[in-house]
Structure 1
Amino acid sequence: MMLKFKFFSHTADIKFRAYGKSLDEVFKNSSYALINSVVDSKIEEKKKLRVKVKGKDIESLLYNFLEEILFLIDSKHFFVSKIKNLKIDKKNFKISAEFYGDNGKNLKVFSHVKAITYSEMFVKKIKNKWISQVVLDI
């Protein structure tokens, strides 16, 4: 089984790399790394939200996708548990997905992510797997 994501030490911030066999999978695993940076308990799949996000390139698409998750946490207290039907239009840099999750009333939130950053960010294919790297401002 392939490693989904891994955290690295970073001064005053959180840095992770996510891995996937496809671009879709690396976007999902990047999202799960973000969520695992914020909450330390199982999130139930009680609600479903559909999202659509655009970008200028693949990095900005990932940035905007993660920003959407952060926005849902901060503004609606919606924590994503699972991502389904994720579709990436690589030509036009668009993404659509269904987020399943809950409002987080019973969750242990242990850190507050202020922002996703472009610092050290990349999304690339190496051999047969995709890798993303993201730094979160906490």
Structure 2
Amino acid sequence: MGMFGYMTTNYDTVEMTDEQTIEAEGDDMLGLLFHFLDEWLFLFSAEPFFIARKVIITEFDKENFKIKAKGYGEEFDISKHPQGTEVKAITYSNMQVFDKEGQHELFVIIDI
């Protein structure tokens, strides 16, 4: 959700009228996180130019590094959604995943 917050300066204008589903996989947890975010960035950058207001993970296989998720939002419309900062790419630079009992944190630097 943080990445989408960069893309429009007023996230409250995004309505949940459409639904998109993504699937991603990686060789490890960092690769999975990279590909997960990259799938959402692709949906925003190419048709249908989808911006999600809410993302729900529907399947998460931590052993085989696979994930499926649904995003609820709508097509990005510059007349409705004030343009924020363009996200050019997801990076591995300083990417971190901390997965401890009761505490899960992710750190990702995106190229803007």
What TM-score, normalized to structure 1? Answer: 0.73
Which residue of structure 2 lines up, in the alignment, with residue 96 of structure 1? Answer: 68
Q: CA RMSD in A?
A: 1.3
Cα deviation for residue 37 of structure 1 reads 1.6
Which residue of structure 1 lines up, in the alignment, with residue 9 of structure 2? Answer: 40
Poorly superposed stretches of 4+, deviation over 3 Å: none
1:59 aligns with 2:30: yes
Which residue of structure 1 lines up, in the alignment, with residue 93 of structure 2? Answer: 119
Identity %: 32
Cα displacement string for residues 35-79 of structure 1 (whole angstroms, at most 9, x for unaligned residues): 112112221001111211111111111110100111011102110
In 2, Cα distance between equivalents of 1:132 and 1:84: 16
Structure 1, unpaired ranges of 5+: 1-31
Aligned-partner SS, 1:60: helix
In 1, Cα distance between equivalents of 2:90 and 2:63: 24
Amino acid at match of 2:89: A
Cα deviation for residue 125 of structure 1 reads 2.2
In 2, Cα distance between equivalents of 1:112 and 1:56: 28
Cα deviation for residue 86 of structure 1 reads 2.8
Change (3 A) 1:111 1:123: same
Structure 2, unpaired ranges of 5+: none
Larger strand fraction of residues: 1
In 1, Cα distance between equivalents of 2:58 and 2:31: 17
1:83 to 55, 61, 80: 55
Alignment: residue pair count: 107
In 2, Cα distance between equivalents of 1:115 and 1:126: 28
